[in-house]
Chain A
Amino acid sequence: MSDRVADRVKGLKGSGIREFFDIAQQTEGAISLGVGEPDFVTPWSIREACIFSLEKGYTSYTSNWGLLELREMISDRVYTDDSVYYDPEGEILITTGVSEAFDLAVRAIANPGDEMIIHEPSYVSYKPCTLFTGGMPVCVDTVVEDEFKLRAEKLEQKITDKTKAIILSYPNNPTGAALSIKDVEEIADVVTEHDLLVISDEVYGKLTYDGKHTCFSSLNGMKDRTILLNGFSKAYAMTGWRLGYAAGNKDIIEAMMKIHQYIMLCAPITAQMAAIEALRCGDEVERMVSEYNRRRRLMVEGLREIGLSCFEPKGAFYTFPSIENTGFKTSEEFAKRLLLEEKVVVIPGSVFGAPGEGFVRCSYAVSQYEIKEALKRMGRFLERHRVV
């Protein structure tokens, strides 16, 4: 037995950058802007509700679909916030994070050879998950001149008769881009015209700073075509709880549930009990968003002051400055040297797909103090490496 590992896994691009990440994890005294999760601890009322549920003995499996009470609350919340109604029985599935929900969504709809359009730079798991199903990822670039928005014209150019779905991911990780109503309506027109499905990952939907996020399925005619993915990680600072959900058309959600029941059975009940409390305490989200907004402004202005051009992000908690007027050829080289010389961790944009090259992702889900200190160190670094 010479090949212990299956071909489809071996075929995955080995992450050459992992070595850099390992060093980053271990560097003493480093300030990390490489974080992809809130620096807030889960609000106490949520933690307290979970502890209480354990004391009461809620430790069993739940329905494969997830607790009905939680599905009902999600249904109410989505209806209140986004004016789109999902039936808690059959149109909502509770999953182990949005990661699982995404995997289920792709597996539920993609036949081998089906093309999935992915805009880049984008979150790293869309491509591999598509490949696992035998589907074909087709990438469409988004560029800083368009504020990293997916443009309908560009999208249309990538559509073939094999296109099954578009994976939409706004507010976006890593760019912080968000779409306006007009932007999403133009995309919806393309979706209708070409009879496509949309997997819309809206996990950063509550974190916007320039107008409210538009839920894709709330657009005219889109509910039936959209698998809406969302979760509790970013909005409620619950990353480690692993809880998300998918909402959509009954047939597709039913298909996702079939897979889910065999691979996951159900999401952990402790996390589900906590999520019920999370949906009750909306104030905390507002408080976190206004704090993120202050940090966002500090970071963007600070990056510009030290000489990096930086597009103004409208959502999530990332900035995506350009490194074009530095002496570095690649974002990876920039990130490595910055860590080595000044102990600041940023993520090379190339990790998020080829169009991310030339940029680095800097998270502002860190304290104001850390933002200021990181900017000071980066300023020194750039003084040394600026191209005159």
Chain B
Amino acid sequence: MNEKEKQKKDEILRILEENARLSDNEIAKMVDMDEGGVKAIILELENSGIIRKYKALINHDKAGIETVQAVIDVKVSPERNTGYDSIAERISRFPEVKSVRLISGEYDLSVLIQGKTMHEVAYFVAEKIAPLEGVRNTVTHFLLKTYKENGEMYEEEEKGERLAVTL
């Protein structure tokens, strides 16, 4: 891939990361390519697994959908040969688990869990995570309020009114 193609590809990724619902035609205009070219690049990005998924970012509170989320700090004993990978993968397979990250510091994994009730989440940690072989310690932090997620503010920022006409 030459430098110019790489630039186009990166620009398309930036555009989709901000708004995945733009049409191929609109993206084509923005990056000065034909629609077919954009389609091909996006298909390749999807096939190669660079684009993982297109999803909506939803403010559950506002939608009136009751959810409880918690961040679980997990301390683990790394395994011979596989290090943290095998335990991280095992944790990742639970559908209740929204994200799993290896972190530096006192704890090793940061795990985000989503459930319907506090009880459900606490129970899940106690029953499924804590007893796993290799897990030495867990700390559960329930999330109380989300202000910003994935770069988006959850409450619309108040904006001053712009004049309709300025020369």
Contacts and interface: CB of A to CB of B under 8 A. Distances in A.
B86 interface: no
A158 interface: no
A273 to B, nearest CB: 20
B32 A34 contact: no
B165 A297 contact: no
A24 B165 contact: yes
Interface stretch (A2-10, A36-44, A244-252): A36-44
A32 interface: yes
A294 B164 CA distance: 22
Contact of A345 (B160, B164, B167): B164
B164 A297 contact: no
A297 B32 contact: yes
B166 A34 contact: yes
Given A41-B157, A368-B19, A294 B30 contact: yes
Contacts of B29: 297-298, 301-302
A290 B14 contact: yes
B4 interface: no
Contacts of A302: 29
Contacts of A368: 19, 22, 26
B30 A298 contact: yes
Contact of B164 (A30, A124, A290): A30
A113 B132 CA distance: 89
Main secondary structure of the interface of B (DSSP, over half): loop
Contact of A35 (B22, B32, B160, B165): B165
Nearest to B159: A41
Nearest to B29: A301
Interface string B140-167: 0000000000000000010110111111
A35 B14 CA distance: 26
B62 to A, nearest CB: 20
B11 to A, nearest CB: 8
A382 B19 CA distance: 29
A35 B15 CA distance: 24
Nearest to A299: B29
Contact of B26 (A21, A34, A123, A298): A298
Contact of B15 (A24, A294, A347): A294
B165 A25 contact: yes
A351 interface: yes
Given A290-B14, A298-B30, A301-B29, A35 B164 contact: yes
B133 to A, nearest CB: 45
A44 to B, nearest CB: 9
A24 B157 contact: no
B37 to A, nearest CB: 14
Contacts of B30: 293-294, 297-298
Interface in B1-33: 11, 14-15, 19, 22, 26, 29-32
Contacts of B165: 21, 24-25, 32, 34-36, 345, 347
A288 B30 CA distance: 14
B162 A39 contact: yes
A297 B15 CA distance: 13
Nearest to B19: A368
Contacts of A30: 164
B146 to A, nearest CB: 18
Contact of B163 (A35, A41, A294, A352): A35
B15 to A, nearest CB: 7
A351 B19 CA distance: 36
Given A298-B29, A301-B29, A24 B167 contact: no
B164 A24 contact: yes
Between B19, B32, B160, B163, the greatest number of chain A beta carbons within 10 A of the residue's beta carbon is seen for B163
B39 to A, nearest CB: 17
A134 B101 CA distance: 70
Contacts of B32: 297
B166 A351 contact: no
Given A25-B164, A372-B26, 15 more contacts: A24-B164, A25-B163, A30-B164, A32-B165, A34-B165, A34-B166, A35-B164, A35-B166, A37-B162, A39-B162, A41-B157, A290-B14, A345-B165, A347-B165, A368-B19
Interface of A: 21, 24-25, 27, 30, 32, 34-37, 39, 41, 123-124, 173, 240, 290, 293-294, 297-298, 301-302, 345, 347, 351-352, 368, 372
The 8 closest A-B pairs by CB, nearest first: A36-B166, A32-B164, A294-B30, A34-B165, A301-B29, A21-B165, A25-B164, A124-B167
10 contacts: A21-B164, A32-B165, A41-B159, A124-B167, A173-B167, A294-B15, A297-B31, A301-B29, A302-B29, A347-B167
